[in-house]
Amino acid sequence: MIIGDIYLSKSNTNIKQIKKQFPYIKTICKLSGISGEFRKPKIKRLFGDSTITTHREHGISYNLDVSKVMFSQGNHFEKRRLMNLVKPNETVVDMFAGIGYFTLPIAKKVKQIYAIEKNTESYNFLEQNIRQNYLSNVTAIKGDCRQQKLGKIADRIIMGYFPGTKKFLPAALKLAKENCIIHYHELGKNEKEIIKQLPKNVEILKIRKVKSYSPNKNHYVIDFKL
């Protein structure tokens, strides 16, 4: 996996071969897993000096430190999908904004985004990325999304956190306007397992498997309307 000018591998790596194949690579790291509430990568640097890079995708520049924050390239299509779904008059709340994974690519297509992030490392990069991409309609908020008192402001809510997304649903409902659309990400064996978590009497618009996560679990996103 390549993020900016950094090569991340989950297995033993031939450094000379990688440098020959990708001459622009400045750092090579081994990724052995992700841990904790903030899904911090477990990184061992094999070559190069810096784990800070700028990754470009969908016309957006993401600054990040691969040793401190996660960047999932498996969400590439999901970002593109959201870009095609949002509408110019919408106010969006990204409840788990990270460094701006979903916030940044849709910002120029909506009226306003409130990007909430609890992790200090991710929040600092989020603020930096908002400035670097010249996005004046994004309000970054540091803290737990369950503790925010924004009122019912959201036409659309992004819940890109897992596992355990269900415990954040009450907070999402407090942010949602009537007919709000929620993009609900979660891990499960199948679609039915995720559907059971949703509030009653919602309209399911779409269910999509984002990627395989482990042998018995997949990453799903469900779009539903209140």
Look at residue 34 in the predicted model and tell me its pLDDT: 74
Phi first, then psi, for residue 128 (nearest 5°) are: -65, -40
Give the residue extent of every domain in the chain: 2-50, 74-225
CA dist 191 → 13, 207, 210 (Å): 36, 7, 12
CATH number at 2-50: 3.30.300.110
Question: Does pTM surpass 0.85?
Answer: yes
Long-range contacts of 45-50 (CB under 8 A, 24+ apart): 46/13, 46/15, 47/15, 47/19, 48/6, 50/26
Give the Cα separation of 18 and 7 in Å (integer). 8
Query: Taking a C-beta distance cutoff of 8 angstroms, is the pair 41, 18 a contact?
Result: no
Look at residue 74 in the predicted model and tell me its pLDDT: 61
Give the Cα separation of 146 and 148 in Å (integer). 6
Q: Where are the alpha helices (DSSP H) in 86-209?
A: 103-106, 120-132, 169-175, 191-195
The residues, ordered by sequence, that sit 6+ positions from 178 with a Cβ below 8 Å of its Cβ are: 226
Look at residue 41 in the predicted model and tell me its pLDDT: 85
Q: What is the pLDDT along the chain (226 residues), one digit of tens a residue?
A: 899 999 998 877 888 899 989 999 999 999 887 766 777 888 889 999 999 999 999 899 999 999 999 887 667 889 999 999 999 999 999 999 999 999 999 999 999 999 999 999 999 999 999 999 999 999 999 999 999 999 999 999 999 988 889 999 999 999 999 999 999 999 999 999 999 999 999 999 999 998 888 888 999 999 999 9
Q: Which two tokens stand for residue 152?
A: 């019912």
The residues with which 92 forms a beta bridge, in sequence order, are 113, 156
Q: Which two tokens stand for residue 61?
A: 């520049």
Query: What is the assigned CATH class of domain 74-225?
Result: alpha beta
